[in-house]
Structure 1
Amino acid sequence: MSHVYELYYKAFETLRRVPEIKTVEDNDRYCKVIGQVLQEHLTVIPRLAMGVLECRDLMKPEDIDKFMNTILRARISRRVIAEQHLALTETFNSPWHFADAKFQPDADFIGEVFLRCSAREVVQRCGKLCQDLAREAHGADAPIPEIILEGHLEATFPYILSHLEYIVGELLRNSIQAVVERHRDLTSPPPPISVLICEAPQHVIIRISDRGGGVPRDLLPHLWSFSKGPRRRTRLRNLHQVPKMAATMQELKFEEKVRLKPGPAVSTTETNAANQKSSILKPRGSSLGSLTSRPPDLRLGIGLPMSRVYAEYWAGSLELHSLEGYGVDVFLQISKLGNKSEQLTTRASLDAV
């Protein structure tokens, strides 16, 4: 907690000393400051998770969870604004910004917002990454389940790709890990993971269904809590390994692998748009990347509550239904950005943080 506090205090002291921006050159210098602050704050999420576990006996669990949800929403707000400013600045400085340019590579992007995000392609990219990580952890002969997509596969919507990839990545990681552990001793192929995509005028719903045995009874009441649960020491020990991954090439590798360089299954349109954007915008490290691309057996206990915070921030929702002994159904509702007022925390809550 002290580490996180010092980071925010340093950021405040740095930003308040930035002189008034009057020219493009002033803005360029300001962007360098913002970029440095973003890099320094890559360790905030794992350090916060460690902090709430260390403070578990000093505060009520519901108070700790309320604090975590509030500060994470505030962090999302600040980081989205900062990354959006950097992305718009880099687009403005590109040779394709001017009206007479023959090539407009960012037509599908407004800063960090991808206007034609495809749920099918995000699931395919994240699914392949999670399957590859599972093979690395359990061996090439491990019973890795197939991912079957159905429903409205052509649905597109505006969204911030890194947020959606984190949520979908965490959900698929959990499902794949559960199926592998439950069926590792069987000779027949494991049951597949079913992903159903449903599109409505205002939102898109992604249902992920697995047959991994369901959530253990002792964990079910604590799924959405940052501080409660019977495996505190294991989670704390694993979290100590995560900060070493922050601001390293592993995070940039995640973005290149999942976001900027889609595999063969991705359509030409999105591939071109993503690769064109990568040629202009320098990839920025993301603490979400290291959390999603960590080894499957490194369990942190914050994937589901973190995913719910990100989903609800953009006026969506995340629900889980477990049938013990059989499997899990997870429902992710994604509101199409711009069609609904996002459920941001109040200004008073932000100021309180």
Structure 2
Amino acid sequence: MLPFAVQNVTQTIRLTTRLRVSSPIALTPIVSTPLIKQGDGIGTARRWSHSAKWRPVQVLDEWVAKEARPISLRQLMVFGRSLTESRLMSSANYVRTELPTRIAHRIRDMQRLPYVVVTNPHISDVYELYYTAFDSFRRIKEIKTSEDNDRLCKEISKMLHAHLTVIPKLAMGILECSDLISAAELDQFMNTILRSRISRRVIAEQHLALTETFHSHWFSPGAKLSEGEFIGEVFIKCIAKDVIEHCAKAIQDLARSANPPGTKIPEIRVSGHLDASFPYILSHLEYIVGELLRNSVQAVIEKHRRRSRDPAAEQPPPIDVTLCEAQQHVIIRISDQGGGIPHDILPYLWSFGKGPLKNQRLANLGRVPLMAATLQELRVEDGRLLALQQSAADKSGGGNGGSHDSSLSSLSTRPPNLRLGMGLPLSRVYAEYWAGSLELHSLEGYGVDAFLQISKLGNKNEQLTTRAAMDAV
């Protein structure tokens, strides 16, 4: 017979694993029962305790009853092209009501998780961050003056800074809970919550950038911006070739930093429709292209090191980037000769919570407390910020493009050689957010072809879940 206390804990774990909450009221615990989970393969036990304050949900219900209002890149451009004080106030009030609406739906999604999952300390911390932000923004009154808008911008900046912990906390929580809930459910939850996070940062950072533009000494209210500039965070004419070349240089610098001195770095060649352009959020494209190139460069280096008789003397095979411009979209193909994707990794390529390297990913994520999910937060050894946006802004002739630090990425850093195992699934979330796509084809023993498709016209709405999952029940 097991001791009574151990029996009690075991029964609690079994019960809470099966529990599905039918009403958010049911989540309010009468007592906080410690839950014990076996160690993650290293022989230790980890104690999980429920510390989240599950508030009364009547006020949350009122906001969940509202639907999020999706936007498109074209709407952002048209609205911000002729910026006036009246338009700035309209933007402020859209953000003031849209942020708590979108956050409320994601809080409700978290409340739908099994109780044993939401008691995980990382998931619980994210819940607390979300509820704090929701509670702050729902109390903000209508924005009528420039002073009101300045106070709103301070709240937005505070939220963006505080939420830099969300991605690593979510990723660690999901990995620790991967045995308690199906991989399909975890990945669906992560895709929904990360896409919603991107959407909130887009509208928040867009408003901050518009406010910054409006108060700039060079700006004349009502004056139209040219095609070579940014409208808020939207780069009006994003030339694919230029972005790829900037990312290629940054990734090659990272590879030199992460590998032994003298390591040969593969050349990155760009061909095809070199004039292809489209409106886009530059930091989104940089992140996707950066992650794809980073994987390709490292795979080529490692294969060349294994196969070549003299790796220091011979040049590794190049990485070819091909641009294809069609009427509705632009396709970027990245082809490498890095040997392809290992069989044991391939089934989990797009999963946040499963895979053979789970323990290693958990350890690595613990070293990245803040994560903006931008290429700019990756730093080489000498500490230089990879400010690709500033380069693009310089090409555009100044303006406001480089003055706003997108996603506060300068506050977060990632070692260049640290593998988190979430670059590809997060890149797909970014690609699909503006109705694009990301696919990989692995050629065993040879290499990988990655296909990134981007909507060329900017007229596709952001792809996000506008209602919480339980609203459909």
The TM-score with structure 1 as length reference comes to 0.88
SS of residue in 2 equivalent to 1:318: strand
Structure 1 Cα separation of the partners of residues 340 and 209 of structure 2: 41
SS of residue in 2 equivalent to 1:143: coil
Task: Show the counterpart of 1:5.
Answer: 127
Deviation, 1:154, is 1.1
Deviation, 1:156, is 1.1
The TM-score with structure 2 as length reference comes to 0.67
Deviation, 1:96, is 2.7
Within a 5 Å distance, the mapping from 1:76-95 to structure 2 comes to 76-95=198-217
Q: Contact (CA 8 Å) 2:228, 2:237: kept in 1 or not?
A: no
Q: Contact (CA 8 Å) 1:96, 1:104: kept in 2 or not?
A: no
Gaps of 5+ in 2: 1-122
SS of residue in 1 equivalent to 2:195: helix
Structure 2 Cα separation of the partners of residues 343 and 261 of structure 1: 28
- Counterpart residue type for residue 30 of structure 1: L
In percent, how many aligned pairs have the same letter? 63
Within a 5 Å distance, the mapping from 1:147-166 to structure 2 comes to 147-166=268-287
Aligned residue pairs total 340
Task: Show the counterpart of 1:260.
Answer: 389
Q: 1:320 aligns with which of 440, 448, 462?
A: 440
- Counterpart residue type for residue 35 of structure 1: S
Within a 5 Å distance, the mapping from 1:37-116 to structure 2 comes to 37-98=159-220, 108-116=229-237
Q: Contact (CA 8 Å) 1:207, 1:330: kept in 2 or not?
A: yes
Structure 1 Cα separation of the partners of residues 234 and 328 of structure 2: 17
- Provide closer, same or farther for how the CA distance between residues 200 and 106 of structure 1 changes in structure 2, counting only shifts above 3 A: closer
- Provide closer, same or farther for how the CA distance between residues 47 and 115 of structure 1 changes in structure 2, counting only shifts above 3 A: same
- 1:233-259 CA distances to partner (integer Å, 9 max, x unpaired)? 001111111115669xx7397996332
**Greater RCO (CA < 8 Å, at least 6 residues apart):** 1
Deviates more, 1:158-167 or 1:43-52: 43-52
Task: Show the counterpart of 1:340.
Answer: 460
Deviation, 1:275, is 4.3
Deviation, 1:118, is 1.2
Query: Does 2:262 match 1:141?
Result: yes
Task: Show the counterpart of 2:62.
Answer: none
- Provide closer, same or farther for how the CA distance between residues 350 and 118 of structure 1 changes in structure 2, counting only shifts above 3 A: farther
- Provide closer, same or farther for how the CA distance between residues 252 and 84 of structure 1 changes in structure 2, counting only shifts above 3 A: farther
Task: Show the counterpart of 2:338.
Answer: 212
Q: 1:26 aligns with which of 148, 151, 157?
A: 148
Deviation, 1:340, is 3.2
Deviation, 1:107, is 5.9
- Counterpart residue type for residue 154 of structure 2: K
- 1:259-308 CA distances to partner (integer Å, 9 max, x unpaired)? 2332xxx7xxx5342743256x34244469957x5313x11111111000
- Counterpart residue type for residue 303 of structure 1: G
- Provide closer, same or farther for how the CA distance between residues 157 and 237 of structure 1 changes in structure 2, counting only shifts above 3 A: same
- Counterpart residue type for residue 261 of structure 1: Q
Structure 2 Cα separation of the partners of residues 92 and 231 of structure 1: 48
Q: Contact (CA 8 Å) 2:229, 2:401: kept in 1 or not?
A: no
Task: Show the counterpart of 1:118.
Answer: 239
Q: Contact (CA 8 Å) 1:145, 1:192: kept in 2 or not?
A: yes
Task: Show the counterpart of 2:300.
Answer: 179
- Provide closer, same or farther for how the CA distance between residues 11 and 252 of structure 1 changes in structure 2, counting only shifts above 3 A: farther
Structure 1 Cα separation of the partners of residues 397 and 348 of structure 2: 38
Query: Does 2:139 match 1:17?
Result: yes
Structure 1 Cα separation of the partners of residues 227 and 270 of structure 2: 29
- Counterpart residue type for residue 339 of structure 2: G
Within a 5 Å distance, the mapping from 1:230-249 to structure 2 comes to 230-243=356-369
SS of residue in 2 equivalent to 1:21: coil
Gaps of 5+ in 1: none
Q: Contact (CA 8 Å) 1:106, 1:277: kept in 2 or not?
A: no
Deviation, 1:99, is 5.2
- Provide closer, same or farther for how the CA distance between residues 64 and 100 of structure 1 changes in structure 2, counting only shifts above 3 A: closer
